[in-house]
Structure 1
C-alpha cells in the first residue's frame, strides 16, 4: 500500500511513510513465517497476517502542502542567515567554530569544513536557479563566476520569488527537500538546536511539556501527539510561553509579599 501519489512529498507525511514502510516489512515477514509454517507441516494455526494500518496522508497542493511549502520557504531564508553567521564565526568573529575533518571523510582534515560546506551550498543554490531559469526560458544568472555572500543572498532572494512555482514542478521535488536538508547541515555546523534537541515549550495541541523535539526536516514534532511545528511557530511559542511563565512567577511573588 504505497502512499498516494497525490500526497504531499514533504515532511508532514513522514509518519505515514514510516507506518506504511513498517506494514510492508511486516507483510514480508509474514510471507516468510507462512512459508516456514507450511514447510514445517502446518502444525498449529497459520501465522496471522499483519493488520493493515489506517493512514490519512496530507494531500499536496499540488505537490507540497501549504505547511511544507512554508517550512521550505522558511528554511531557504534561514540558509542566508545561517551561512552569514557561520562565515563570520569561521573568520574569527562572534566566537569560533571548531574546524577539522568533515564527518565521514578520509585523509587529512579539511582546512575549513565550514568554508567547504558554504561553497557547496552556493553551488547547490546556483544549480537550482540555473535549472529553473533554463526551464522557464529566463535570462542566465549574472556573475556566474563569482561566489560568496552577496551572490548567495541574491540567488536565495531570486529563488524565494520563484519558489511557489518551483515547488509545483515534479522535477524539483528533490530541490525542495534538499533546501530542508541544507538547513539541517548548517544548523549542525553551528551547533544550534541539532536534530533530537528538546524544546522547552508545551505542545500547542496536547499541552505536554518537553515533548517537542527537532526532527530531521527542519521542523519540530511532539513525541506525544505527533503535531508538527515549524521553526517560526516554535520560536513564537517559546517567547510567548516564556513571557506567560514569567508573569505567573511575578504574580506568585507579588502574592507572597
Structure 2
C-alpha cells in the first residue's frame, strides 16, 4: 500500500451542492469508481453499493480495492457509512458540504416537483411521506448515523455525536458565502483549480425539464417553471424542524 494514496470520500447531502462537487472532482481528474451514479459506486448489476451498511472490515476492504484500482473519489448520498472507520483510516480524506437546512429542504421539494418525481403540489404533503431527505434534522441524523427508516427521535445525544463526527472531517464546506468561498477551499485543501463551466444539478434552467413538461402537456407546471416559481409557500415556521441542524451549523462556522 502506498503512503501517497488519498481517497476523497464525499458525504453528499441531498440538494446541498453535491452534484457540483462531484462534477468538480471529475473535471479536476479525480478517478471515480468504474461504474457510478453521481459519484456513488455501483456494482456489476448497476446497483448502488450500500456502503452505509458495510461493517468495519467490509469498509476497509472496499478502501483497499479503491487503492488497488486507483480510485481517488467516492461519494455516499443514500446513507451514512461507518464514519469512525473512515476517520481512522489515514488514506481517507473526508469532506462534506452544508447548506441552510430550510433552503435545502425547499430545494429538494421544488426539484422533485418540477422533475416529475412527485405529484404533491405542496411542501407539507411532500414532507409527510417517509423520506430521509425530508426528515427533521437531516444533517444531525446523517452524521450521528440515525438516518434509517423508521426514524428515531433526535435530541442532544445525537447532536453531540454529529458535532464530534464533523469535527473529525478533513473539510466541511458551506454554500453560505458568509462562511467561506467554496471554490477557494476546494482549491486550497484538495488542489482542485478547475471550476469554470462545471455542470450543476440546479432545479431551474434545465432544458430537458421543459421538454418533458411539454411532452406531458403539463402547461400550468411549465408556466410555473419558466417563472421559477417556488412551490413552497410561507414555511418559515418549519425552521424549528431543523433546530439541531441550525445549532450544528452555528457550532461549525462560529455564527
TM category (shorter chain) comes to under 0.3
- Higher Cα radius of gyration: 1
Higher strand share: 2
Looking at both structures, which has the greater relative contact order when contacts are Cα pairs under 8 Å and sequence separation is at least 6? 2
